[in-house]
Amino acid sequence: MTTKSFKPHKWSFRLAFALAGIIASSTPAKAVTFNLSYAPGTTQSQITGVELAAGIWSSYLTDDVTLNFHFAMTDGVLPTGKLGGATPGVSNITYNSFRTAAQQEASLAGETLYLPNYIDPNNGSIVGYNRLIQDGTIQHNSNVMLTYANAKALGLNTNQLNLDGYIQLDNSANWQYDYHTGQIGDNNYDFVSVVLHEIGHNLGFISTLDISNGQQNPIDASSLDLFRYSQESAAADAIDSAIGGSKYFSVDQAHTVFTVDNQEALFSTGTNTSLGGDGEQTSHWKLNVNNPLGIMNPNLETGQIGEISAFDLKALDVIGWDFVDSAILDLNLLRSEAETRATTAVIADRLTEVQQMMNESDIYNTNTTTTTTTTSSTTSLSVSLIDSSLNMNLYGSTNNNGNGNGNGNGNGNGWCNPVWDPWCGWWQEGDAKEATSVPEPSATMGLLGLLGIGAFWKRRNQKQNH
């Protein structure tokens, strides 16, 4: 009797196990693979959180690519009030390369992709795109900025070994690691939500407008910026690359605002409030505290959980990603898979590679792009390149480089030198629910370094007066 009852039990257990392997697969047949490494000191809960966030993105994105991201918890490195930062590798490619690849992908998917065009009046060929810039004029551009990951999604980056991006979260925030339960305490920040957000930037949800900050010769638009319009720019048959105003996401060449359930996809309009920016980096949806447009909302509240939305997915779709919009997330399964992967996670110090990636990118040093440079910016180009090669030590430097001005970064561990490297990355900031619901301006290190703490407080007061 004992053997008889034992055998079928063992058999059915095996069958159940085998079936589980088939039907409970949490990722689509084709999915993005994340190849993650972690700085020494990252805890197992944190690694599991990052792996869960990666697993969630893999549940949506079906591109057959492997992304190499490095993760670190940092102390006093991010600008004050920022929960996390993304530093993607970024490359500058011709608009025609991007356009050809993106159109090809869209047609394979049976979709129509509307991209802005600037047609050469002499021969009728598409040579770039028109953009409305800060001074109200139209500029013709023939290059575009893509994150390394974005380029991979389009088959334009075949480098399998290099780092594609760096993510850091602030070690001092009151983190909680319970995304899978949906329960985050009123005084805690959800760790996984912020990682999802920073991965989003690395995937290509970036804007270069904050870097240009309204200057006369703005650096080339990012792929996402190609879908940023205003009524004014639409009338001029151009994308809108100015700070301030009202900017919307359009996937039909400016005719309509992309909308889901009557909610309009609007973008944040810039950290430079003196130019009319709303105080948030342009690489985000418009801030909506209680009803965010998606994971790329600029802020996260305590107790809040961020989710990838149809808005986020559409934005990634048009810049080159393929996705399944019907993904049903089994968070408990994804979480257990993440726990398993976390036990064999790669722990490594890769800051030299991070720095190399930044050096090779076309944005982390000023004016290294192929756009026309003026005499004065050529001067700063040579200065910044010298700085890069000789003493741009972003991590663990004991030299504050004149940044010890009380803005929270004068700790000898500078994230970025605001004088030579005005652009350091994209942030997500945290807002405590019990505090004012008006967000603090997400000023960049560059602005803080150049304008000083006085300007910071002034702008903050302006915000609160609204």
Q: How far is the CB of 147 from Zn ion (least distance, A)?
A: 13
Q: How far is the CB of 282 from Zn ion (least distance, A)?
A: 10
Nearer to Zn ion, 207 or 366 (CB): 207
Choose among Ca ion, Zn ion, none what residue 425 binds, the Cβ cut-off being 5 to 8 Å by kind: none
Sign of CA dihedral 152, 158, 161, 162: negative
Sort residue 465 into left (φ over 0), alpha (ψ -120 to 50) or beta.
Answer: alpha
Which of these, 192, 105, 144, 85, lies nearest to 425 by C-alpha position? 85
Rounded CA gap, 297 and 377, in Å?
33
Q: What is the dihedral of CA 171, 210, 97, 162, to 10 degrees?
A: -20
Q: How far is the CB of 67 from Ca ion (least distance, A)?
A: 13
Q: How far is the CB of 86 from Zn ion (least distance, A)?
A: 7
Q: Which residues bind Ca ion (CB under 5 A)?
A: 63, 105, 153, 317, 320, 322
Choose among Zn ion, Ca ion, none what residue 165 binds, the Cβ cut-off being 5 to 8 Å by kind: none
Q: How far from the centroid of its chain's Cα atoms is residue 209's Cα?
A: 14
Nearer to Zn ion, 199 or 331 (CB): 199
Nearer to Zn ion, 156 or 443 (CB): 443
Choose among Ca ion, Zn ion, none what residue 428 binds, the Cβ cut-off being 5 to 8 Å by kind: Zn ion
Nearer to Zn ion, 116 or 425 (CB): 425
Q: How far is the CB of 126 from Zn ion (least distance, A)?
A: 32
Nearer to Ca ion, 314 or 341 (CB): 314
Q: Which residues bind Zn ion (CB under 5 A)?
A: 426, 428
Rounded CA gap, 45 and 48, in Å?
5
Choose among Ca ion, Zn ion, none what residue 240 binds, the Cβ cut-off being 5 to 8 Å by kind: none
Rounded CA gap, 198 and 295, in Å?
9
The amino acid at residue 296 is M
Q: How far is the CB of 126 from Ca ion (least distance, A)?
A: 20
Q: How far is the CB of 197 from Zn ion (least distance, A)?
A: 6
Q: How far is the CB of 248 from Zn ion (least distance, A)?
A: 19
Residues 6+ apart with CB under 8 A from 344: none
Nearer to Ca ion, 127 or 149 (CB): 149
Which residue is nearest to Zn ion, using beta carbons? 428
Neighbours of 156 (CB within 10 A): 18
Choose among Ca ion, Zn ion, none what residue 322 binds, the Cβ cut-off being 5 to 8 Å by kind: Ca ion
Which of these, 213, 90, 72, lies nearest to 149 by C-alpha position? 90
Nearer to Ca ion, 132 or 203 (CB): 203
Choose among Ca ion, Zn ion, none what residue 78 binds, the Cβ cut-off being 5 to 8 Å by kind: none
Rounded CA gap, 404 and 110, in Å?
55
Q: How far is the CB of 296 from Zn ion (least distance, A)?
A: 7
Q: How far from the centroid of its chain's Cα atoms is residue 431's Cα?
A: 19
Residues 6+ apart with CB under 8 A from 101: 154, 155, 156, 320
Nearer to Ca ion, 146 or 342 (CB): 146
Nearer to Zn ion, 139 or 272 (CB): 272
**Beta strands 175-176; 189-190: pairing state:** parallel
Choose among Ca ion, Zn ion, none what residue 170 binds, the Cβ cut-off being 5 to 8 Å by kind: none
Choose among Ca ion, Zn ion, none what residue 63 binds, the Cβ cut-off being 5 to 8 Å by kind: Ca ion
Rounded CA gap, 11 and 317, in Å?
45
209, 111 in Cβ contact below 8 A? Answer: no
Residue corresponding to tokens 């700070």:
243
